[in-house]
Structure 1
């Protein structure tokens, strides 16, 4: 429903904003506005028949386009006119806070648009006052709460945690803190923070005695009347995984904008994957049995809990026995793995997702056992919730609340294990695209055990069922969505509708101000040692002593070897990823450049995206090699295997487009403003010598090329 009046409102909002801020309208912004308006115009107005074409728009807009202004001045009035909630999702919390605290107030002030907005975060970003109270009681041995930390998370010691908890309760009482982790003045270790947060299963919601002071519900109440909800991809996907409308507005009543939307398929896979660590799962089941035995006399005073308490001990014992059998079976699978030759924790990936018959049979047993256990925990949780509403309950409210938290935590852990074993018990022949299934033997850092994982290899079915067919409208935008100048890679991974609107918008930057160079080298990355030696020999010659430079590696091993090889010549100027946090490295780098000194960052993939070093902070980006995916990634390997089984070429269809996209992202660290200049140097001659190299070069922005023959 794109009326003439609505078109005029969008045009006027954009013009007012440009005039008020004394900005020059950009052609790329105008293109984005038109594409988004036309796509969302497919959303039918009240009482109108639905459109055959989806209200989905996928826009790649180059760096400097001004994407935020373009989608905001278009989507805000359209959502208001259609009586829909606008949900803007960014890839990170930092980006969402910039949008809330800087961009939206600025747009509202200058555009003349009248709208309200609120920031949405998940429960785990807020302190749970009930758990905080109980953990402070626990310091006196009185809380009765179970330790249900996520697998792999190191628990904090009492000496480390209690002073912080006391400071938190004091700050809450004084009104100096709102319970939001991001507003706490200091960094809080994960092992300290996690125990004082809650999730959907453990939260008693409106029944909680602390509901009037609950930080999460206060924040969520602000969402009810907001025109715009700002959040991140993870929270949108968590809401969709719960069926939609559990945290945010229902998808049918929402228009979604996914900024940095190229992350969406991978984020979706992580939300719909499952895992189970055998040793720790057996341990928490045994701990749960002990805790329930200790609390049985108390809990049995609730009639509804008597039967579950009778059933659980035997069910828990049976699951522990099956897990121990699984551990022995899995250990046998690793007898044929070269453990000495493995650099990291060794893995076994099941080809085509097919689990061996013995493990398949055991998975079916465990799936059934955890289904039964989850069912009993769910009945217990429901009974405890009912008891909270019962004024004549035999149990004290504080005891009911404590056990609701405990049982909710057990239910969440049980459902997680159930999901893994159900996924392992499936017949791959019944799956449209196979699941990746793999097992990791944990050996690093004194850990022991086996970690079983299962994940879809493509997010297309997930997003088709939960997003594309349900949302009122969807806008996907990012500086890097296409690969090899095509949207096919994104369509394959995300399942976005082929009849959606797809558009590439060029960056306004003048790429003729920058050079993309491939120097002469007598080796290729296939000879790892020779390539590393060549990088060590080349970097001192091409890095200027007074410049800010960024050197990007695909391999941590190679990064460390090159760093060691340059210790005597460039060592003092290098800031190595891993020596400090990412933010600290960037701070030190900027400080050095501001003082007129040269500085070189050595980084991996996390520095190839989302790093903003304009002007003198980065005049040279060096890329060690074409960033092909790590060959032993279980997901990448399973996807390639599936493509090959269909008679297609996984290298040309998957590996090359993925690498081209990553190379564009890495090269994009150079020009961050319209006045920036500099060089990108690729130390990999395959871009010239191999057949696929020309396609990769043609997918880059229009740099001036210097290719040594």
Structure 2
């Protein structure tokens, strides 16, 4: 498919872009364009345009300064247009999503000569639901039972004066076309709870049957998705679409080329997306209240035919499920032994994902109960759809519209319960990675609850089946895709096909000239937190005197706070510590201090080790307290390590060290953000030179000038 005409189109677009921007070609960027074009251009299709060849996946690690967005856009847009496929660019963060839509793509289109359209894709939760808005402003209390049940499903029945004013303002802004219904475009701040009251999800939305369908903000935005050549989404939205079979929100995978920017986040996002959890007491309360309100509703308003008959069956189904839920609480409570109940979030994990037989048996009963509820609610929702089309005698269209989101929300919650207990009722296949299963102990205002959770320990199979094998083509890119110089970690976690084209393209930065990496002679073992903290307090002032703008990264909040408390008043005044204010406020205050020629130091945790852009004087030194090994009490990571060990592997060397390597590279990447940046990196952890794995971690870092005291 990558014929001479297509090659010429890509080369000409790149040449024209560079000329119009007055830029010189970057070697790494050219290689990235070539790797992507070669992979996507090798796809073989049948007469209907469906891929017949092996999965076409390009995995490209490209450091800061490569110009990844330009590279993948110029390489993939012409290929996608030639194949009549939609290009879906997916990111992990809102900041990058907005940068691509509002800055990068307009610039590429203007300067490259390529002609293409693009739009931003968001989930339903970012758009106002007109039906809910109308209901909140007009419903009153005519049907108390219905409104009380709506409250159980997250709807508000007590709309105070301030909320009424806000919602009326939304109606007015929509009516005069001054607002498009997108939360991000609302003129002021919106309280999360107030917003949740006027938005919807897939289960509650009646789609084209809604009387407000023609004015629906979400569906108006969705129309653009079907017309645009390029759609910019996020990983969560792509995964949600794939979970619905693909093509429910975005274009079908077979008709799409995916670009996963910040692709190192994809495996964890996928694991989180397919995890299940449920609070036992909270679910009992939901079942109990729903049973009462449905019975009250049935007694208050008789419905004809199947609709009435099915609705009358619902309370008994809910009651039976409630009784099993109550039994489950006692079973889980007796099976869970929390080793540290006074910790921040006590948890108990079932070894090897194996739960006691009484719990597994009862989970099977709950699975059956929720299956029955889902079947009944599905029938009810389908019948209400027919009623909305005017095809059910005796049921008013307006009543059907009012009931549908309520029962749809109940269906979503029941389906979540089914998913949870299904995974607790089965035995994991022999030889396959097990499901991690654990319990959290929760306490609030003297009341405690048990949250039962489960999750796949690897997303490989899910991504392989639903994404790589199904899509037309895909590109995964990031500055940190390799671990210890290899792609093995990503392949294991993301299920990247063996046929994938994996490449590392060189960074344009001259790391050895631009920065030094120092490991001081710190006489303290990071495994002894108090001793290590005292050593950091002693050496930090001298290190911070060297530059005006610095970033100090900690792996522990407690250590960060202890260092701040012990460093002295003189330095405390110069330090901005994560948690004292929002991340954006903290960065803004830091920039202002540097602009005013003052010293400013940021104390941050893991979230400041990635995605923070502080070029030039804003960050001339990065200090890393210790090797960023993962917290050992994460249930999913612990289950993964346990599985690897059961197969004769070494979880520390196969999981902990590679993961730490990626985090360490990300942390060091905060220093050089442009080709003119200069500075130093200091790591206060002697294990890099004393431990047997230290050399591998050091060698995985960019080739900074090293100074080991």
Q: Settle same-fold status: TM greater than 0.5.
A: yes
SS at match of 1:570: helix
**Aligned-pair CA distance for 1:402:** 1.4
**Aligned-pair CA distance for 1:150:** 8.4
SS at match of 1:439: strand
SS at match of 2:569: coil
Match of 1:495 in 2: 495
The verdict on how the C-alpha distance between 1:287 and 1:59 changes in structure 2, with shifts beyond 3 A counting, is same
SS at match of 1:515: strand
The verdict on how the C-alpha distance between 1:257 and 1:298 changes in structure 2, with shifts beyond 3 A counting, is farther
**Aligned-pair CA distance for 1:154:** 12
Map 1:546-565 onto structure 2 (within 5 A): 547-565=548-566
Moved more, 282-291 or 672-681: 282-291
**Aligned-pair CA distance for 1:550:** 0.9
Question: 1: distance between equivalents of 2:157 and 2:475?
Answer: 40
Match of 1:359 in 2: 359
Match of 1:229 in 2: 231
Map 1:574-613 onto structure 2 (within 5 A): 574-613=575-614
Match of 2:527 in 1: 526
Match of 2:307 in 1: 305
> Quick check: 2:484–2:661 contact (8 Å CA) kept in 1?
yes
The verdict on how the C-alpha distance between 1:158 and 1:419 changes in structure 2, with shifts beyond 3 A counting, is farther
> Quick check: 1:344–1:444 contact (8 Å CA) kept in 2?
no
SS at match of 1:499: coil
SS at match of 1:223: helix
The verdict on how the C-alpha distance between 1:317 and 1:53 changes in structure 2, with shifts beyond 3 A counting, is closer
Question: 2: distance between equivalents of 1:223 and 1:441?
Answer: 43
Question: 2: distance between equivalents of 1:130 and 1:157?
Answer: 16
1:465-489 Cα distance to aligned partner (Å, 9 max, x none): 1001000000000011100010000
SS at match of 1:99: helix
Question: 1: distance between equivalents of 2:68 and 2:423?
Answer: 40
SS at match of 2:226: coil
Give the alignment's TM-score, normalised by structure 1.
0.96
Match of 1:538 in 2: 539
Match of 1:101 in 2: 102
Match of 1:328 in 2: 330
Unaligned stretches of 5+ in structure 1? none
**Aligned-pair CA distance for 1:264:** 0.6
**Aligned-pair CA distance for 1:330:** 2.1
Match of 2:37 in 1: 37
Question: 2: distance between equivalents of 1:357 and 1:246?
Answer: 39
**Aligned-pair CA distance for 1:310:** 2.6
Map 1:85-164 onto structure 2 (within 5 A): 85-137=86-138, 144-145=146-147, 146-147=149-150, 158=160, 161-164=163-166
**Aligned-pair CA distance for 1:538:** 1.5
Match of 2:296 in 1: 294
Aligned residues: 705
1:196-254 Cα distance to aligned partner (Å, 9 max, x none): 11111111101111111100000001111211111111111100000001111110011
> Quick check: 1:273–1:453 contact (8 Å CA) kept in 2?
yes
SS at match of 2:475: strand
Question: 1: distance between equivalents of 2:687 and 2:432?
Answer: 35
**Aligned-pair CA distance for 1:545:** 7.3
Match of 2:222 in 1: 220
Match of 1:280 in 2: 282
**Aligned-pair CA distance for 1:54:** 2.6
> Quick check: 2:152–2:289 contact (8 Å CA) kept in 1?
no
Match of 1:57 in 2: 58
Question: 1: distance between equivalents of 2:492 and 2:109?
Answer: 37
The verdict on how the C-alpha distance between 1:248 and 1:447 changes in structure 2, with shifts beyond 3 A counting, is farther
Match of 2:707 in 1: 706
Aligned partner (choices 207, 210, 234) of residue 208 of structure 1? 210
> Quick check: 2:552–2:625 contact (8 Å CA) kept in 1?
yes
Match of 2:507 in 1: 507
SS at match of 2:526: coil
1:377-426 Cα distance to aligned partner (Å, 9 max, x none): 11111111110001664233222111101000000011011100001111
SS at match of 1:443: strand
Question: 1: distance between equivalents of 2:567 and 2:274?
Answer: 43
Map 1:456-467 onto structure 2 (within 5 A): 456-467=456-467
Moved more, 177-186 or 604-613: 177-186
The verdict on how the C-alpha distance between 1:612 and 1:281 changes in structure 2, with shifts beyond 3 A counting, is same
The verdict on how the C-alpha distance between 1:50 and 1:312 changes in structure 2, with shifts beyond 3 A counting, is closer
> Quick check: 2:547–2:620 contact (8 Å CA) kept in 1?
no
Question: 1: distance between equivalents of 2:288 and 2:335?
Answer: 26
SS at match of 1:222: helix
Map 1:168-207 onto structure 2 (within 5 A): 168-207=170-209
**Aligned-pair CA distance for 1:301:** 2.1
**Aligned-pair CA distance for 1:282:** 1.2
Moved more, 39-48 or 642-651: 39-48
The verdict on how the C-alpha distance between 1:113 and 1:593 changes in structure 2, with shifts beyond 3 A counting, is same
Unaligned stretches of 5+ in structure 2? none
1:451 aligns with 2:451: yes
> Quick check: 1:589–1:601 contact (8 Å CA) kept in 2?
yes
Give the alignment's TM-score, normalised by structure 2.
0.96
**Aligned-pair CA distance for 1:329:** 2.0
